């Protein structure tokens, strides 16, 4: 469906997702791992709209979560709690209680003190918590520093040198059922060799435990997508690496878990925005649009590249543009030196692509702006899957 045509149906800016693309990406992952003992857990932090989690649920995959709120959105999409696992370096008591009360499949524990807190809460609920220890394997991923998570200096996971202490605590707490290890070295990783390094570190640590009670190894997510259209590792490239590295473990009944987020949702999403003004100033062509960094923060936060195109066909020659939004921050710029036709004008629609992951999910209401409406297209149909949340809605929510 022509996404720009939707700009006649819905006020801009808005997010639109392509259901078939999400299904295609999930199927691509599932196909690549056919024949292996691998379970997929969609990292819903990438896009937690229940319509999206619903597509993942229908494909039979589970969820990777970081909060009770995410668990509610996964459940709203019909995902099964037993197929869910929860990470999080600072889970609140409420997160842990909600997860245990709703029989989550697995909690990934990220620190020594968290073990005692989870054990105490499980005891008070009369439950046994099924846990993995998230290890910090001290592997530095080549990605933006803000999304690398496996360095010694990062807040995530338990260092290998602290595993003995973790095991001592587990041994003394019958409320904890330790079933495996997990790790996640970062996001937007596009090199198979780099994934291999991270996996090898974790596999080695897993084998060193020599513990037959451990029945799962969670290798995390992090699979990159091709924002610029260049060649990246795809599931068919890294699935054989995982097979080769873990075949002996899989043969012994160890299940491999993966937590893909971006790979599932990024490509399916577009942020549709309208040009408000073309401002020629100081030698720059500022294309001022109605979406801002509060709607899509990735360019400001990670200097991320998103493809941006004019929705209509133009035969005008291209000019370098700065595409900027209305938020009162100089960092509210989606792209600099981006070529767009020089007849671009007020009212034109722009499509900001690959915005389905970490787009709406990271958005805010800064400058008392709306959180945007989200639309799902399927074939030739479209449906509003979440209405915009306006500043007025927010005021109502706080003042009653």
> Applying CB under 6 A, which residues contact ligand PLP?
43, 46, 64, 87, 149, 184, 187-188, 220-223, 259-263
Smaller CB distance to ligand PLP: residue 261 or 325? 261
SS3 329: coil
Compute the least distance from the CB of residue 62 to ligand PLP, in Å. Answer: 12
SS3 192: helix
- HSE-CB of 36 using CA atoms within 13 angstroms: 26
Query: Which residues sit opposite 42 in a β-bridge?
Result: 63
Compute the least distance from the CB of residue 7 to ligand PLP, in Å. Answer: 28
Smaller CB distance to ligand PLP: residue 7 or 258? 258
Compute the least distance from the CB of residue 6 to ligand PLP, in Å. Answer: 26
Compute the least distance from the CB of residue 248 to ligand PLP, in Å. Answer: 25
Compute the least distance from the CB of residue 300 to ligand PLP, in Å. Answer: 18
Smaller CB distance to ligand PLP: residue 1 or 301? 301
CB 83 within 8 A of CB 106: no
Element (H, E) at 392: helix 391-399
Smaller CB distance to ligand PLP: residue 259 or 295? 259
Query: Which residues sit opposite 186 in a β-bridge?
Result: 148
Distance between CA atoms of residues 375 and 383, nearest Å = 5
Distance between CA atoms of residues 359 and 341, nearest Å = 26
Smaller CB distance to ligand PLP: residue 30 or 322? 30
Distance between CA atoms of residues 22 and 37, nearest Å = 23
DSSP labels, 228-290:
TS-----HHHHHHHHHHHHHHHHHTTPEEEE---HHHHTTTEEEEEEEEEEEEETTEEEEEES
CB 366 within 8 A of CB 376: no
| Residues tagged active-site | 328
């Amino acid at each position: 469906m022509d996404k720009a045509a939707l700009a006649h149906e819905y006020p801009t800016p808005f997010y639109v997702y392509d259901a078939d693309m999400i299904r295609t990406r999930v199927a691509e992952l599932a196909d690549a791992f056919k024949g292996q003992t691998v379970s997929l857990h969609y990292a819903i932090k990438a896009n937690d709209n229940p319509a999206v989690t619903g597509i993942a649920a229908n494909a039979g995959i589970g969820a990777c979560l970081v909060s009770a709120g995410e668990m509610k959105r996964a459940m709203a999409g019909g995902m099964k709690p037993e197929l869910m696992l929860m990470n999080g370096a600072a889970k609140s008591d409420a997160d842990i209680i909600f997860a245990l009360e709703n029989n989550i499949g697995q909690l990934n524990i990220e620190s020594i003190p968290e073990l005692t807190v989870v054990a105490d809460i499980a005891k008070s609920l009369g439950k046994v918590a099924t846990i993995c220890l998230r290890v910090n394997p001290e592997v530095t991923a080549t990605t933006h520093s803000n999304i690398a998570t496996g360095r010694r200096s990062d807040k995530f996971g338990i260092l290998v040198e602290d595993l003995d202490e973790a095991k001592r605590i587990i041994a003394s707490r019958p409320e904890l059922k330790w079933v495996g290890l997990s790790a996640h070295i970062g996001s937007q990783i596009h090199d198979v060799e780099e994934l291999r390094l991270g996996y090898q570190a974790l596999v080695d640590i897993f084998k060193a435990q020599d513990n037959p009670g451990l029945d799962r190894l969670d290798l995390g997510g992090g699979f990159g997508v091709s924002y610029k259209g260049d060649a990246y590792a795809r599931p068919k490239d890294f699935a054989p690496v995982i097979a080769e590295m873990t075949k002996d473990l899989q043969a012994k009944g160890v299940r491999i878990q993966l937590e893909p987020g971006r790979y599932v949702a990024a490509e399916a999403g577009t942020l549709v925005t309208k040009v408000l003004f073309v401002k020629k100033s100081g030698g720059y062509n500022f294309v001022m649009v109605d979406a801002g960094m509060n709607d899509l923060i990735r360019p400001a936060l990670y200097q991320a590249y998103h493809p941006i195109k004019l929705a209509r066909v133009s035969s005008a020659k291209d000019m370098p543009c700065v595409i900027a939004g209305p938020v009162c921050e100089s960092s509210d710029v989606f792209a600099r030196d981006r070529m767009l036709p020089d007849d671009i004008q007020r009212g034109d629609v722009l499509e900001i692509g690959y915005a389905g992951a970490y787009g709406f999910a990271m958005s805010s209401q800064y400058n008392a702006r709306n959180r945007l409406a989200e639309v799902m297209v399927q074939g030739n149909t479209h449906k509003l899957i979440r209405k915009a949340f306006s500043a007025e809605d927010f005021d109502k929510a706080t003042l009653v």
